[in-house]
Amino acid sequence: MKRVNVAICGFGRIGQQIAELLLNRSTYYKQKYQIDARLVGVCNSSSGLIDQEGLRAAEWLDKSKYKVGLTEQQFLEQVQADVIIETGPSDYVTGGKGLFYLNYALTHNMNAIAVSKGALVVDSKNLINLAHQRHQKLFFSGATAAALPTIDLFEYNLAGCQILEIEGVFTGTTNFILNDMLQHECAFAESLAKAQAKGIAEPDSSFDVDGWDTAAKITILANTVLGADIKIKDVLRQGISHVTADHIRDWKKENLIPRLVGFIHIENQQIQTGVELRLVPTTHPFAHLQGSNKCIRVLTQEMGELVVSGGASAPLATAAAALKDFELMLKHTAKN
Ligand SMILES: NC(=O)c1ccc[n+]([C@@H]2O[C@H](COP(=O)([O-])OP(=O)(O)OC[C@H]3O[C@@H](n4cnc5c(N)ncnc54)[C@H](OP(=O)(O)O)[C@@H]3O)[C@@H](O)[C@H]2O)c1
């Protein structure tokens, strides 16, 4: 049976959820792919833990076992991984340590799965080229709306189609907040606190509520799916923190539903991108999204319109999206 060693860089809420799910699925991977997948290392900002035989939950939960300084380059040099899953903070300005982890992995015979968005927002073209040159795999479902299929949709279902328009509700947290405000007619801060308590808000809530998270996903989609070369600062951006209970009451009277929508319009080969608060009628597909559900609508020349909705934000859903990417890698590994 072929062994596949996995390391997780960034061991917070999502990282730990991935570890748990990976362990739970180990028998399934053996049966389905004849692959023995083991988590051999995890690290956070200042320490890490490596066990080449495979970590168990009792080990990774015991912080006293972590070695101080075993992070970043030291961690990657010591952990003998075939795949790294990067789940550190998203840095939209420099790509942060996420960019370092992905670059290092791809240049050192490791496949990579990105869950954080910073590295792809800043440098997706170079990362994709690097993976190609080094014959490694780079997947990033987690960084592009996680449980809502986006990248896969273009790669598989719409392969070869001419894309005319992409728009969607890409941030579960803002959708959750707007839905909660609609339901309770309460203040923005109250609904934000509920989203944070559920663990769906980004560690820095301004990422979500000021539209950065949606702008990041739009940037990654435009550059990877459409071959554009835009920067996140090129995406016109609006947030939702100015929405009040009075706004909500007025909109309800007119049967209008507020949604934070990210869009990419393509006209005469020119790309226009943005994130804006839209008021949609109750019949619109975006109006029906409950809780932290998301939605993508794509208009193509050949296949017409496609709408996919669901993929609610939750740590388990994000972890499952990262392991969906992992499984796509296993399929490839099993074939070769
Ligand atoms: N929450 C969601 O549903 C969701 C969905 C899709 C994508 N994401 C993305 O997933 C990523 C992780 O989210 P989260 O909710 O798990 O955040 P989190 O709980 O804050 O975890 C982040 C982890 O990264 C670690 N870290 C910081 N700097 C590091 C470094 N230089 N090297 C290694 N690890 C480092 C932190 O370590 P310390 O504890 O030592 O600081 C922490 O363990 C974010 O980029 C987020 O945008 C989240």
Cα(147) to ligand 1 centroid in Å equals: 17
DSSP string, 218-270: HHHHHHHHS-----GGGSEE--STT--HHHHHHHHHTTEEEEEEEEEEEETTE
Cα(314) to ligand 1 centroid in Å equals: 14
pLDDT in tens, 98-153: 999 999 999 999 999 999 999 999 999 999 999 999 999 999 999 999 999 999 99
pLDDT in tens, 18-52: 999 999 999 999 999 999 999 999 999 999 999 99
Cα(278) to ligand 1 centroid in Å equals: 30
| Distance from C-alpha of 86 to C-alpha of 140, rounded to nearest angstrom | 10
- 299 DSSP β-pair partners: 165, 305
46 lines ligand 1 (CB under 6 A): yes
Residues 41/81, Cβ–Cβ less than 8 Å: yes
Q: At what angle do helices 118-133 and 96-107 cross, to 10 degrees?
A: 10
Say what the pLDDT of residue 199 is: 80
Check pLDDT > 80 for residue 322: yes
Cα(14) to ligand 1 centroid in Å equals: 7
Pairing of strands 270-281, 304-310: unpaired
88 lines ligand 1 (CB under 6 A): yes
Number of other residues whose CB lies within 10 A of the CB of residue 183? 10
Given the CA of residue 172, which atom of ligand 1 is nearest to it?
3
| Distance from C-alpha of 142 to C-alpha of 324, rounded to nearest angstrom | 9
Given the CA of residue 16, which atom of ligand 1 is nearest to it?
16
The SS3 of residue 184 is helix
| pTM of the model as a whole | 0.96
| Distance from C-alpha of 256 to C-alpha of 31, rounded to nearest angstrom | 50
115 lines ligand 1 (CB under 6 A): yes
Cα(63) to ligand 1 centroid in Å equals: 17
Check pLDDT > 80 for residue 332: no
Q: In what order do the strands lie in the sheet with 304-310?
A: 236-237, 270-281, 256-267, 163-169, 294-300, 304-310
Check pLDDT > 90 for residue 336: no
* Segment among 186-190, 203-207, 288-292, 321-325 with least mean pLDDT: 203-207
